[in-house]
Structure 1
Amino acid sequence: MKNIFVTLLIGVLFSFSLIVKAQDYSEQYRPQFHFSPKSGWIGDPDGTIKFDSLYHLFWWGHAVSEDLVYWKEYPWPMQGGNSSFDYYTGSVVVDTANTAGFGTGDDTVAVAIYTMHNRTTNIETQGISSSTSPDFKYFNYYNDNPVIPSTSTDFRDPSVFWDTQLDRWAMAITRPGEHRIEIYSSPDLKNWTKQSSFGPLGARTGAWEVPDLFQLPLDGNPENKKWVMICGMGPNRGQYWVGDFDGSTFTPDGTTLAYLKNGTGINGELFTDFEASDYGTWTTEGTAFGTGPANGSLSGQMDVSGYLGDYLVNSFNGGDAATGKLTSPEFMVSKNFINFLIAGGNHNNLTCINLLVNGEVVRTATGDNSEQLKWFGWDVSEYIGQTAVLQIIDNFSGSWGHINIDHIMFSDILTDHRYEHAYWIDYGPDFYAVRTYRNYDADDDRTIWLGWMNNWDYANSIPTSWGGSTAESLPREIQLVSTLQGYKITQKPIEELKKLRKEEVVLTNKTVEGTTVLTEFKPLKNTYEFEAVYEVNPGSDQKVGFNLCVSDANKMVLGYDAKTSNVFIDRTQSGYVSFNSKFPRVINAPVQLKENKISFHVFVDQLSLEVFVNDGDVVLTSLMFPNPYFQKGIELFSINESSVLQSFNGWELNSIWEEELGTGILDRRENIKSIDVYPNPANQKIHFTLNAGTSRTATAKVINLLGQTLKEKIIFPGISSSEIDISDLKTGHYILYVLNDNQISTQQFIKVN
């Protein structure tokens, strides 16, 4: 999507006074083993290529790496052009055959292809720049840009590669609002011809952005490769499709279509899919539901999507003014959960689906004022063995006075993630704009991708100091495997990350009951990795997992619910969450157990949590902003029933930025000491004592528990008093930080009235 040049400039200017500090990558929340720029904005990964033993990453900044672990940042690469446009997301190719004519016989040419977003009109066209400089440090603007003209404000994010089938360049590029990915071809990167259009298919709640198209071996067989199309869906999702690409057209295969269009392979027992011309044994009242299921949108209605098959329940018959009720035949509750797809009006008790037991409503759900159906689910385990009915209600005649329902399932796995029916790349809220690496060295059979760890719901309010941004994700190796739900992409962290590991901590067969501190593994900083396997009792009330970044009530919760068969992250009390109302939330993802065990591979890096569940079958990526001074504890939990932590292997991880780990946490240096503060508690002033005999100035700061500096004072030992006025602070806990003779001293104190 956007690599916001304006935001980048603002970030650079804002960070100018912090450049010295930014160079050591030690700011609060700064990731220590994820790539982030020294200062300024980072967004969608662009130009992910490997050439001449170097991995390249553009955003449109530029960094290179020999191993995707340690990075060197280069200067701003884009030269020439004018200030009429911003560089939006794109890609880089190595034009080894010099098809564009930018090189000579002695040059290797790289060409950047990107969206030119006009700052005045917002029109989006596609442009190119070329590089023959060492390591492709600088790209020269092509004066005949754009190479793909356009009058649209919604046409962006080209992904380009050489198609060996037809010996020409191929491009995948999105029409975001139309939920389409277009395929273009070119002999020379300058002249492009549209070949086809793919979509809409799958999820379409948000704009489609940042596509990619590549091949993966199926089930590890290099002789049986499938083409995979991916794209982001704003503000934070990513989905994929598996099929065939003939050089001009991408076609999803039958297995993919069966799952996406008909729900083939969904876990559970189908109660009804409404695939008939009438409602069968369901009874209707009123006029809203008509005489039978609807074949999509009705007259006067916006586009309805997300239902399975050809039909769904749609009470827009006659418009929002119509009312009615649809009642199922009686059934025996036989499974723990009822899952269904729902959309339409958000009016409690008026546009809804209800579960009635003994004539009383015991469960209810409404739409979300959209026409895109999403998965909702109820826990009905307490009613197993009882007779129940479902009622679909439309009793509202105003705006959004209708309800859409489809594909009601009885299951032992809860599907309540509130997402559309799709092949999702990552169930967490912070993995977006994914791009694969194109390996021109052809020295590695792996397919590796990475994404932007952020979310447009709150990307512009992220509480970081080096440019208001975050980082790119860990590079991940991906594979394509066959499952009951069709073809699935699994992910795992690349092997090269293991070189960051420090001493290993190993635990086996540890009984966990309730919540207990993990005393055997106590990282000094929130920069660590662990692999763990819990034994679980499927279908029970047991919840197992980890409380991470713990301090008092604050914690980042990662767990597995044996009853719902869902893995979850709860970041509602993970630290600093109030910077945006959409940030604190609980994330759930359904997962299939393996031999009554759940495995976690976890990476914690200051502001991020990446979790690979059951060997990457399910992946969740989440930002977090824990208190950098106190939230370092780790707890194990097994709630409602004891469990066995069958294995645990943990490692603190070295920083990729310096030999001594810099984290922005005050105790990052070995010469940290405590300091005496008095009185404590205090209400007017605090006093403290500096080391005797120093001739240097000292810097004293008062910092709150979010890591924000509230007061700062330069102390001249022997001249000025070592005291700070705190009379204007609110009641609470604070930290005094003193830097003196390159020695850091800290002490917590309490402000009282």
Structure 2
Amino acid sequence: MSSHSGSGLHFSPERNWMNDPNGLIFYKGKYHLFFQHNPFENVWGNMSWGHAVSEDLINWNELPVAIACDDSHAIFSGSAVVDYFNTSGFGTLENPAMVAIYTAHKHDDSHQAQALAYSLDEGLTWVKYEGNPVLDLQLNHFRDPKVMWDRTTEAWLMTVVLPKERKVSFYSSKDLKNWAHLSDFGPVGATDGDWECPDLFPLFVDGDESRTKWVLLISINPGGLTGGSGTQYFIGDWNGKEFIADDVRTNWLDYGRDNYAGVTFNDVPNQRRVFIGWMSNWEYAHSFPTSPWRGAMTLPRELTLITKDGKISLAAKPVAELENYLGEKLTAGNKAELLQIMATISTSEGLSTKFRVTADAGSYFEFGYDAKSKSIFVDRSNAWNEIPSTHIHCARLTGDEKTFDICAIVGSASVEIFAVGGTLVITDLLFLSGVSRSVSFEIAEGCQPPRSIAVRAIAPRR
């Protein structure tokens, strides 16, 4: 099966329902994307792990369902590792097992525990471990294990949530089967909903290999910044036992409505940290009028830590592999199905800058810089249907930049904005009529044109 997508850039299954990304891992030259999937219907249910692979994070090939639900349990979110040292005994040193660590969810909602499955053929077929579950607190809400090899302790580290208690728990294991509790983090930050899909990982600060900080992602639903789903993050230190945040105030990973449950890939070469999120919001995910598939992923993003105004911030940019799909530059008004818009915006005159992207049948959305609130914004009011939602989403500049960069990736049903070095991100779904898009620069009263602008077509392989 080949990948299908509403936009040709964002992975979605050929048919039926998809939500959270799971088991993101790089192995033998391929990126593996597993995902929450209903193999039978275009609505949530029968949760199983779908599977797709890519050599470049953009062009995906969908494979058969990897781990299917059974009569008693659904396969909820989790992660995957390659057990290179054969700590589990599932494989050999010559052919290490790919091991999925997932939440086994009882169909009557009475019980969630962590379970294992393993594959000896690069994720194509899976065997559920006969000793499941491997971590069971006898709870009905305990889920979303993210496992990685922790070089601090030379052991497996699991980051998992107690959703109703708004807590992240950390566990350690030498063999993936026996887990010891290390510590808990929370409740702090945004706590107005269930905590889900945690991810803990190290990053160099400003690319300096002598300075490492750890980032903890926590998705929350409801209670997100724009209502419904959202993802917060904390920056701090990991000492092998506990995560100590530098600041427990919430930082939002994305200021739009449609980036949820995102996690990062294990084992990407050159210590790159690549993130993918589910491009939707639980407030309207079920009513999104797509068929025969429903649900898409965000564009993969590379995460880095950068120092800005004396403070360390998490930055996200589209993965460099996207460059290979960028076509010719377009002049304003020229049309293309998928667009990259790059601009430099000046704030020094105190004027706003507004871009308008119009579909061939007349619907449009706007984005840019609002001088009054010193914010970047997306306004999708004129590119939506009757589904109830907020439509204007803003991210405030925190420094006193005289100029800043902005990059917009416009798909047929979405816009992803990366501004100020990727420290401000807005991801929004859209309803734009027709196929092709054109860009105009609205120099309305009180607005100024950008300092520089480049619009390019994006040409994904069909």
Give me the TM-score of the superposition, normalised by structure 1.
0.57
Other-structure match for 2:307? 482
State whether structure 2 residue 29 is matched by structure 1 residue 53: yes
1:482, CA displacement in angstroms? Answer: 2.5
**Preserved CA contact (<8 Å) 1:536 1:643:** no
**Preserved CA contact (<8 Å) 1:123 1:150:** no
1:551, CA displacement in angstroms? Answer: 5.9
Q: 1:574 aligns with which of 341, 365, 383?
A: 383
1:104, CA displacement in angstroms? Answer: 3.3
SS in 2 for 1:96: coil
1:164, CA displacement in angstroms? Answer: 1.8
Q: What amino acid is aligned across from residue 90 of structure 2 in structure 1?
A: F
Other-structure match for 2:321? 496
State whether structure 2 residue 419 is matched by structure 1 residue 613: yes
Q: What amino acid is aligned across from residue 59 of structure 2 in structure 1?
A: Y
Inter-partner Cα distance in structure 2 for 1:639 and 1:598:
20
Other-structure match for 1:449? 275
**Preserved CA contact (<8 Å) 2:157 2:173:** yes
TM-superposition CA deviations, 1:157-186 (whole Å, max 9, x none)? 000011122221110001111110000111
How has the CA–CA distance of structure 1 residues 637 and 603 changed in structure 2, closer, same or farther, with 3 Å as cutoff? Answer: same
SS in 2 for 1:615: coil
Structure 2 gap ranges (5+) = 36-48, 222-227
How has the CA–CA distance of structure 1 residues 24 and 74 changed in structure 2, closer, same or farther, with 3 Å as cutoff? Answer: closer
Q: 2:458 aligns with which of 650, 653, 656?
A: 653
State whether structure 2 residue 398 is matched by structure 1 residue 589: no
**Preserved CA contact (<8 Å) 1:603 1:609:** yes
**Across the two proteins, how many residue pairs are aligned to each other?**
443
Inter-partner Cα distance in structure 2 for 1:554 and 1:537:
32
1:483, CA displacement in angstroms? Answer: 3.4
TM-superposition CA deviations, 1:257-290 (whole Å, max 9, x none)? 5xx3xxxxxxxxxxxxxxxxxxxxxxxxxxxxxx
Other-structure match for 2:265? 437
TM-superposition CA deviations, 1:461-490 (whole Å, max 9, x none)? 1111122x2211111111112234732101
Other-structure match for 1:175? 162
Inter-partner Cα distance in structure 1 for 2:215 and 2:402:
32
Inter-partner Cα distance in structure 1 for 2:123 and 2:2:
23
Q: 1:166 aligns with which of 153, 156, 179?
A: 153
Inter-partner Cα distance in structure 2 for 1:564 and 1:50:
41
1:24, CA displacement in angstroms? Answer: 8.1
Other-structure match for 1:213? 200
Inter-partner Cα distance in structure 1 for 2:324 and 2:380:
29
TM-superposition CA deviations, 1:73-121 (whole Å, max 9, x none)? 1111126x73211111100011111111111354221110001111124
Q: What amino acid is aligned across from residue 127 of structure 2 in structure 1?
A: N
State whether structure 2 residue 298 is matched by structure 1 residue 473: yes
Coordinate RMSD, CA, aligned: 2.1
Q: What amino acid is aligned across from residue 112 of structure 1 in structure 2?
A: A
* Identity over aligned pairs, percent: 33
SS in 2 for 1:177: helix
Inter-partner Cα distance in structure 2 for 1:103 and 1:537:
61
Inter-partner Cα distance in structure 2 for 1:208 and 1:24:
30
SS in 2 for 1:74: strand
Other-structure match for 1:458? 284
Other-structure match for 1:41? 17
TM-superposition CA deviations, 1:665-713 (whole Å, max 9, x none)? xxxxxxxxxxxxxxxxxxxxxxxxxxxxxxxxxxxxxxxxxxxxxxxxx
1:218, CA displacement in angstroms? Answer: 1.1
Q: What amino acid is aligned across from residue 185 of structure 1 in structure 2?
A: S
1:43, CA displacement in angstroms? Answer: 1.3
Structure 1 gap ranges (5+) = 1-21, 261-421, 507-517, 659-753
State whether structure 2 residue 103 is matched by structure 1 residue 115: yes
1:128, CA displacement in angstroms? Answer: 0.6
Other-structure match for 1:131? 119
**Preserved CA contact (<8 Å) 2:4 2:11:** no
Q: 1:543 aligns with which of 352, 355, 361?
A: 352
How has the CA–CA distance of structure 1 residues 25 and 219 changed in structure 2, closer, same or farther, with 3 Å as cutoff? Answer: closer
Other-structure match for 1:76? 65
User: After the TM superposition, which parts of structure 1 deviate over 6 Å for at least 4 consecutive aligned residues?
Assistant: none
Q: What amino acid is aligned across from residue 83 of structure 2 in structure 1?
A: D
How has the CA–CA distance of structure 1 residues 206 and 446 changed in structure 2, closer, same or farther, with 3 Å as cutoff? Answer: same
**Preserved CA contact (<8 Å) 2:219 2:231:** yes
SS in 2 for 1:643: coil
Inter-partner Cα distance in structure 2 for 1:48 and 1:171:
15
**Preserved CA contact (<8 Å) 2:3 2:62:** no
Q: What amino acid is aligned across from residue 252 of structure 2 in structure 1?
A: W
**Preserved CA contact (<8 Å) 2:52 2:62:** yes
TM-superposition CA deviations, 1:568-619 (whole Å, max 9, x none)? 11112214x21x212x521111114665334320111111100011221211
**Preserved CA contact (<8 Å) 2:66 2:125:** yes
SS in 2 for 1:181: strand
1:25, CA displacement in angstroms? Answer: 4.0
